[in-house]
Amino acid sequence: MASLNSELETKVEIYNNANYQLSKIESSIEENQAKLDATSVKLGEMQDRLETRIVKIYRNGSVNMLDVLMETSDLNEFLTKFDMLTKVGEQDRDDLDQVKMLKEQVEQARTQLASDKATQSTLVDQLSTEKADIESGLAQRQQMLTGIEGEIAQLQAQEQAAALQAQQAAAASESSGGGGGGGFVGPAHPSTSGGAVGIAMQYLGVPYVWGGADPSGFDCSGLVMYVYAQMGISLPHGATAQYSAGTPIDYSDLQPGDLVFFGSGGGYMSHVGIYIGGGSMIHAPFEGTVVQVGSVSSGGSFRGACRL
């Protein structure tokens, strides 16, 4: 079951990353389409202007410098006409160069647009495949769980009863004057804890939902994205892209609010959590669980950490 959960979480993050890449490609397509439209309009205007000039020259006949010299008796008049003809020639050359440049820009935009649309098609196919794999894995997981829910519930009840007995024993020891011990100190309550940790703690118990990114349900990167959005920091929905958005840090430098990442290799991070201190993190583990506090060591193969 643990192996299947890890596999599903990896697929979810691959799906999230592909979805993020698709959104970037779609923005690029929109941008290049606008550029193509604007450049095409400008090209049309320049071509019309150049064509009008060519027709005018054809109808009136070209004027050469010898004709100007023979028809001019005054040096100043000749220089004035010479300057005018030179400027007209330069304008014609500028217009022609502009048309050539705009044509190249149109072709570049069309080529980029075709490339982006091909990438978009590939990503859409990838998303469809990943989604089908995730849904198949969820069905397999549910099939594995069928028939053992009762046993799981019984074990959970036993654990809760044991925890309650331990709390009662500790309370009795304190009331009788027993010495106070040390041990793990959990994260501060949201009302006194600032930053990402305090915000994230408000969503303890929210169910895991793959692709989820709001308080009705979170996946691991969706939780991180939502928490940091409350702090005015925009992050993509995907562990791999979130790692790239921060500054890498060593495990020994971790501070509350830093992000910790996990994966089994390859180019993708398969899981992410928010470090809260004491070797613990808050995260949304996998389907069937809720947002919870757990040890960093329970997240899988540690791949790195970053600070935003």
In whole angstroms, what is the distance from residue 281 CA to residue 274 CA? 5
In whole angstroms, what is the distance from residue 302 CA to residue 304 CA? 6
Hey, do 2-145 and 190-307 end up sharing a CATH topology, with the first three levels equal? no
**Averaged pLDDT for residues 40-57:** 70
Instruction: Name the one residue in this structure whose structure tokens are 């928490």.
Output: 227
Q: Pick one of 1.10.600, 1.10.3470, 2.115.10, 1.10.287 as the CATH number of 2-145.
A: 1.10.287
Q: Please give the DSSP secondary-structure letter assigned to residue 290.
A: B
Where is average pLDDT lowest: 73-87, 158-172, 208-222, 239-253? 73-87
Confidence of residue 12 (pLDDT cuts 50, 70, 90): confident
In whole angstroms, what is the distance from residue 190 CA to residue 92 CA? 71
How would you label 163-181 residue by residue, b for 16+ Cβ within 10 Å and e otherwise?
eeeeeeeeeeeeeeeeeee
Q: Is the pLDDT of residue 98 over 80?
A: no
Neighbours of 243 (CB within 10 A): 21
Cα 62–chain centre separation: 60
Q: Which amino acid is at 185?
A: V
Where is average pLDDT lowest: 19-33, 59-73, 155-169? 59-73
| Superfamily covering domain 190-307 | endopeptidase domain like (from Nostoc punctiforme) (3.90.1720.10)
Mean pLDDT taken over the chain? 76
User: Active site residue: 189, 220, 237, 306, which one?
Assistant: 220
Q: What is the pLDDT of residue 70?
A: 55
Q: For residue 215, what are the contacts with CB-CB under 8 A and spacing of at least 6?
A: 203, 206, 226
283 is catalytic: yes
In whole angstroms, what is the distance from residue 200 CA to residue 215 CA? 10
237 is catalytic: no
User: Active site residue: 189, 237, 271, 306, which one?
Assistant: 271
Ramachandran bin of 177, using left for φ above 0, alpha for ψ from -120 to 50, beta for the remaining angles = left
Domain coordinates in residue numbering, the chain: 2-145, 190-307
Q: Is the pLDDT of residue 228 over 90?
A: yes
Helix (H) or strand (E) holding 172: helix 149-175
In whole angstroms, what is the distance from residue 223 CA to residue 205 CA? 12
Q: Is the pLDDT of residue 30 over 70?
A: yes
Q: What is the pLDDT of residue 174?
A: 56
Cα 181–chain centre separation: 45
Task: Name beta bridge partners: 293.
Answer: 282
Task: Name beta bridge partners: 302.
Answer: 262
306 is catalytic: no
